[in-house]
A and B are shown apart, each in its own frame.
Chain A
């Protein structure tokens, strides 16, 4: 088979090959080159719309170098912040008169194993009661060096939320007063919400047929 007339494979990381959940080789088309590309990293440029421009205006003079990118998607703004500057940015977000994000709704971790160098993300949802606004702050750290500065000093409510994110993802929040597991037992091994941690489960027999464990069932994603 000649390959001259075939298009080259895309350079971006490939989300999945084949169809119907086939993870390794061939797809059912017989063409063997079906790939689904991973969506590109989102990036928004000015104007962001809504009140997001005002928030960015109040942040940028001091923290232009701390903000990696801004994503405005589905009516929500996400500020991706460099982890070294996180504590300062959060303090500014809380105290600046034009920002006043007094209420934090906690930390949520997300694990993206395919994002080399930024596998682990911590996502903070902030709410300003003064201005009735919401934004999201996102920080990433590599799996090899899973450290993010703690923000308990700025938002004391992050105490348990950071413990939870550490428990489930293994992100170490430097400067946390007592970073211990919170949901899992103290002697638990591994961090259950990571993508490389299996769900577990056993096959169940039902009316003569065997239903596999949930993580062994056919996946269409």
Chain B
């Protein structure tokens, strides 16, 4: 259908925009007597972070109504997990918020560990590695947030810089876990493998480079007049609004409340690290940007402290719980073929111990049983509070797992931040929420 052909339906005239002559379209629209224009932004618009659909009612350039439609990326992760073992669940949850997979895994594993009652028995080295990978992921996630943010407001350089730096983090993650994303690294009871040799040095090099790179980014954006005009006093959401809408994370901290679960309800040993909770009180897009930049700098501080421990007091030690009924039986090591394998363990179960073979077979195929009950565990993900509600009926599979994803909840703030503003500010508002649709739709 061409742009000039228009259909009349109950809701008014529909203009089909399919890349034809724009002058004709403008002429048709300006000739019509409609004062109200309903625009569908998405679900494939590049600046809606994946498949988010915004239905905007416009009066001229002003947005009078903003409605959010989600569900385009629903993959039934929560349902699928009910048909896999507790350990296999990790491979599903890591795919939810794909920019911060370690946080999904940690929240889920903390929930399972709470149900098992083994929270205090997780080895310190495993907890330190969890903190290390989480903070690295926080940096990479914030980098993507700021990079796309710049791009959506028309600046390409922050995008190039952000993705370049993120690549360094992903390389480190690949070195540690074997995969850049969706690594299923954190498991109930600890982490799947120990740090490879040289990982601490590699991250040390990253720590040397990164502060300057953050400064570069700040030079580009902090006082950039175009950027500040597009972001200051835009998408205002104060503390009352945040509380009512359940908004957490950088948006809440940009409204002035220093609420960070790492400080207020510490987990994984965060109470033993020194760092600040950055806040702003501008309640706008620019404040949220500043909070994210400051958080990256704080994350670097935490990583430095973790590295000191991993090369000092926690240099050796188990990374999986000692309990043989829960911990994965083998510890993988890099084989000559480049794949993970555990020759010692295979020699043990195949050559010397029938019981070990039975135990391995039972634990790997059947999985461990988790006592009946329910638990809620939450972590401070880059986007806010990520909670896992885990229910067990006493079996080897989760009875029900529900994730309280911060992107899902924060997206509810779109009408509150966009209505009454300009249509161009919608882009900035959605970017400052930093939704990841994989997490929203699960």
A-B complex is real: yes
Residue numbers of A with Cβ under 8 A of B are 15, 39, 42, 73-76, 78, 102-106, 108-111, 123, 125, 129, 132, 134, 136, 155-157, 159-161, 164, 181-185, 192-193, 199, 214-215, 217, 219-221
Contact yes or no, A193 B79, CB < 8 A:
yes
* Chain B, interface residues (CB within 8 Å), range: 35 or more
Contact yes or no, A221 B396, CB < 8 A:
yes
Contact yes or no, A220 B71, CB < 8 A:
no
Interface pairs (14), CB distance under 8 Å: A15-B394, A42-B373, A73-B373, A74-B114, A103-B243, A103-B248, A106-B404, A129-B264, A134-B265, A164-B408, A192-B79, A199-B82, A219-B396, A220-B396
Q: Which of B366-416 contact A (CB under 8 A)?
A: 366-367, 372-376, 378, 385, 387, 389, 391, 393-397, 399-400, 402, 404, 408-409, 411-412
A204 → chain B closest CB, angstroms? 14
Contact yes or no, A199 B264, CB < 8 A:
no
A198 → chain B closest CB, angstroms? 10
B262 → chain A closest CB, angstroms? 13
A215 → chain B closest CB, angstroms? 5
* Partner pick for B374 among A78, A156, A160, CB 8 A cutoff: A78
In the complex, what distance in Å separates the CA atom of A161 from the CA atom of B409?
8
User: Is B70 among interface residues, defined by CB-CB distance under 8 A?
Assistant: yes
Question: Which of B372, B376, B441 has the most chain A CB atoms closer than 10 A to its own CB?
Answer: B376
Contact yes or no, B244 A219, CB < 8 A:
no
Contact A157:B246 (CB < 8 A) given known A15-B394, A183-B74 = yes
In the complex, what distance in Å separates the CA atom of A108 from the CA atom of B374?
12
Contact yes or no, B404 A182, CB < 8 A:
no
* Partner pick for B389 among A102, A123, A134, A160, CB 8 A cutoff: A123
Residues in A whose Cβ lies below 8 Å from that of B345: none
Contact A199:B79 (CB < 8 A) given known A106-B409, A183-B441, A220-B395 = yes
Contact yes or no, A74 B115, CB < 8 A:
yes
Tell me the nearest residue of chain A to B73, going by C-beta.
Answer: A183
Residue numbers of B with Cβ under 8 A of A are 70-71, 74, 76, 78-80, 82-84, 114-115, 117, 243-248, 257, 259, 264-265, 366-367, 372-376, 378, 385, 387, 389, 391, 393-397, 399-400, 402, 404, 408-409, 411-412, 441-442
Residues in A whose Cβ lies below 8 Å from that of B394: 15, 39, 221
Residues in A whose Cβ lies below 8 Å from that of B408: 160, 164
If over half of B's interface residues share one DSSP class (helix, strand or loop), that class is named, otherwise mixed; here it is: mixed
Contact yes or no, A156 B79, CB < 8 A:
no
Contact yes or no, A132 B265, CB < 8 A:
yes
Contact yes or no, B404 A125, CB < 8 A:
yes
Residues in B whose Cβ lies below 8 Å from that of A132: 264-265
Contact yes or no, A184 B71, CB < 8 A:
yes
In the complex, what distance in Å separates the CA atom of A28 from the CA atom of B325?
24
B67 → chain A closest CB, angstroms? 10
Contact A214:B84 (CB < 8 A) given known A74-B114, A74-B373, A125-B389 = yes
In the complex, what distance in Å separates the CA atom of A42 from the CA atom of B375?
14
Residues in A whose Cβ lies below 8 Å from that of B442: 183
Residues in B whose Cβ lies below 8 Å from that of A78: 374
Residues in A whose Cβ lies below 8 Å from that of B395: 219-221
Contact A184:B74 (CB < 8 A) given known A157-B409, A221-B397 = yes
In the complex, what distance in Å separates the CA atom of A112 from the CA atom of B114?
21
In the complex, what distance in Å separates the CA atom of A161 from the CA atom of B410?
12
Question: A110-B399, A125-B376 given. 12 additional CB < 8 A pairs?
Answer: A73-B374, A75-B114, A105-B387, A106-B387, A136-B374, A155-B244, A157-B409, A157-B412, A160-B408, A183-B71, A215-B83, A221-B396
In the complex, what distance in Å separates the CA atom of A108 from the CA atom of B401?
9
A103 → chain B closest CB, angstroms? 6
Which 7 pairs between the two chains have the least Cβ-Cβ distance?
A: A221-B395, A157-B246, A108-B402, A183-B74, A214-B83, A183-B71, A220-B366
In the complex, what distance in Å separates the CA atom of A157 from the CA atom of B170?
34
* Partner pick for B71 among A108, A182, A199, CB 8 A cutoff: A182
B75 → chain A closest CB, angstroms? 10
Contact yes or no, A192 B76, CB < 8 A:
yes
B362 → chain A closest CB, angstroms? 9
Contact yes or no, A103 B74, CB < 8 A:
no
Residues in A whose Cβ lies below 8 Å from that of B79: 192-193, 199
Residues in B whose Cβ lies below 8 Å from that of A159: 412
Question: Which of A39, A73, A109, A157 has the most chain B CB atoms closer than 10 A to its own CB?
Answer: A157
